[in-house]
Amino acid sequence: MRCSSCFRTFSVKKEKEHPSNYISSEIEGYSLDNLKHFSDKELRLATDNYHLSNKIGRGGFGTVYKGTLKNGRKIAVKPLSVGSKQGVREFLTEITTLSNVKHSNLVELVGFCIQGPNRTVVYEYVENGNLHTALLSKKSSSIKLEWRERSAICVGTAKGLAYLHEELAQHIVHRDIKASNVLLDKDFNPKIGDFGMAKLFPDDITHISTRIAGTTGYLAPEYALGGQLTKKADVYSFGVLILEIISGKSSSRTNWEGSHKFLLEWAWQLHEDEKWLELVDQEMEEYPEKEVIKYIKVALFCTQAAAKRRPLMTQVVDMLSKEIQLNEKQLTAPGLFNYDVGESSQKKSNPESLVYHTSSTQASITQVTPR
């Protein structure tokens, strides 16, 4: 009787420990020395049990919470939605890849947690929130971004994307470049966040047909229509982001000077009319006109309808940061994918409504002519 009781006690204890042992064995073989394996208890303590007051955003596959570790370090904790359906090995493979992504303009992954079916990623905490809140949200009145900060955000974000696209051994396409996924540190330096929907690209694959992910207003037309994902889809989204940074307005806004156009449409019309400065945010007191106009033109290069005409992000960095003259003869009309966004836009369309300008010209748009 006594032995039977002892056996039952031992059995229950082993069952409780089994998931932990299983996870530990699963982690073996993965190069995760530069990441901390957090326990669920640690993260719940850090976030006050994921209290709503610590919620700082929502991205692909999950809500993000601010947390404070016992040593005082601030972290951003993101429990992945159950819908992500990632197995342990699949999750660890992605984490292993992301642990090697180190760049000053990318949010750093610092750890992870696996608890039963739950998956959680832990990032560095970035002090000034995201660009959407700082620049596009009506609630934000305390932060004022002048051209110096805005241009630095454009260049820094471009450098971060160039690193993902060109410098990693396994190239990463972000898939959801937008203002809310650009975080700002204490000095307003940009850091690209939310790699939840990132796809890894082998060197021998130029495009992948995939389930469409991303945010309306930033989607390249070839991606929105056919699900063809390449690095050039990120380039397109970045071009839209530049226009938002310059104008201080959301890309989904459709009432520009009573024209009922989207931001990209309006920018192209102003370009054709050579009235670029009408796009500039009136909140900016002073700015170098020639440089602002150049940034607008770079944005238009990035958003051309034909993906192959868009520059690589390494070229975009040069176009923004160096004293070069853009080859404007190669600039063609943007690709515009217009969704029905409600009565205010006065654009009635079905979900596949498309204004898609294309060009058969094969000339490269990435040529730049030194002065």
Residues flagged as binding site for ATP: 78
- State the CB neighbour count (10 A cutoff) for residue 360: 5
Distance separating alpha carbons of residues 52 and 249, to the nearest angstrom:
28
The backbone torsions φ and ψ at residue 152, rounded to the nearest 5 degrees and listed phi first, read -65, -35
CATH class of the domain defined by 131-370: mainly alpha
Binding residues for Mg(2+): 181, 194
| pLDDT per position as a tens digit, 155-198 | 999 999 999 999 988 888 888 899 989 999 999 999 998 764 55
Per-residue confidence (pLDDT) for residue 260, from 0 to 100: 74
Parallel/antiparallel/unpaired status of strands 335-336 and 355-356: antiparallel
Q: What is the mean pLDDT of residues 69-80?
A: 94
Is pLDDT of 203 > 90?
no
Q: Flag whether the pTM goes above 0.85.
A: no
Could you tell me the CA-to-CA distances from 8 to 11, 21, 22, 52 in Å, in that order?
Answer: 5, 20, 21, 41
d(CA 261, CA 265): 6
What is the predicted pLDDT for the residue at 116? 80
The CA distance from 100 to 93, in Å, is: 12
- Three-state SS at 154: helix
Residues tagged active-site: 176
Domain 32-124 in CATH: superfamily? Phosphorylase Kinase; domain 1 (3.30.200.20)
Q: Say how far apart CA 293 and CA 361 lie, in whole Å.
A: 25
What residues form the annotated binding site?
78, 181, 194
**pLDDT > 60? residue 306:** yes
Domain ranges of the chain: 32-124, 131-370
At 206, is the pLDDT very low, low, confident or very high (cuts 50, 70, 90)? low
